[in-house]
Amino acid sequence: MAAGGWRRLPVVGRIWLVTDCCGLVCAGMTWGLVAFGLYAFLVLFFIPAQWSVSLFIDTILFNTFAFLAVMSHFKAMTSDPGVCPKIELTPESVRDAKTRPDQVIYKCQKCKSIKPERAHHCSVCGKCIMKMDHHCPWVNNCVGEANQKFFVLFCFYIMMMSGYALFMAIKKRSCALR
């Protein structure tokens, strides 16, 4: 497979994977940063502190956000973003694609295929994606109609992890100043 291609892996049903080396490195770095956040939490907050109910709750919440972030990242990375089916440009396919008489039929210049409205061609994946937002190297996939939910959840959980870490750092600092 050429660089920037994609594969469906038969290992676990229908897993989508973009085989772009840079994207795979960025996705690995993302998981490494989440792992470093967990390590820093353990070293800075959990290990040196005395056991308390508040520490237990902090640990459960932070680890939950980290777990959900990794799961959302995995789903965003391995889900089909909404690839348009490749349809040859023939008079029959144009007639079938028109749902309204005034509808404009778009043709992808790269795929040479009919593409629906709001679909865009991704130069990294080499496919037309429905409602494509962007190709995210950190997720190593396009963010499109079918996986946008997982991408937004990933961003939300990372924001919650960061906010909670900031909250715990401020709480620890204010306790140390007393």
User: pLDDT: is 89 or 118 the higher one?
Assistant: 118
Cβ(147)–Cβ(80) under 8 Å?
Answer: yes
Tell me the pairing of strands 119-122 and 127-130.
antiparallel
Is residue 12 very low, low, confident or very high in pLDDT (cuts 50, 70, 90)? low
Tell whether the model's pLDDT for residue 11 goes beyond 50. Answer: no
The CA-atom distances, in angstroms, between 141 and each of 14, 134, 138, 145, 178 are 15, 9, 8, 12, 48
Alpha helices in 20-120 (DSSP H): 21-41, 53-78, 91-97
How far apart CA 134 and CA 173 sit, in angstroms, is 39
Is residue 169 very low, low, confident or very high in pLDDT (cuts 50, 70, 90)? confident
Is residue 139 very low, low, confident or very high in pLDDT (cuts 50, 70, 90)? very high
pLDDT at position 135 is: 93
Q: What is the mean pLDDT of the chain?
A: 84
- Structure tokens that stand for 89 in this block: 């440009």
Tell whether the model's pLDDT for residue 88 goes beyond 60. Answer: yes
> Could you list the active site residues?
136
Q: Roughly how many angstroms between the first and final C-alpha of the chain, as a whole number?
A: 61
User: pLDDT: is 132 or 104 the higher one?
Assistant: 132
User: pLDDT: is 103 or 127 the higher one?
Assistant: 127
What residues contact 53, with CB distance under 8 A and at least 6 apart?
A: none
Helix (H, G, I), strand (E, B) or coil at 131: coil
User: pLDDT: is 159 or 53 the higher one?
Assistant: 159
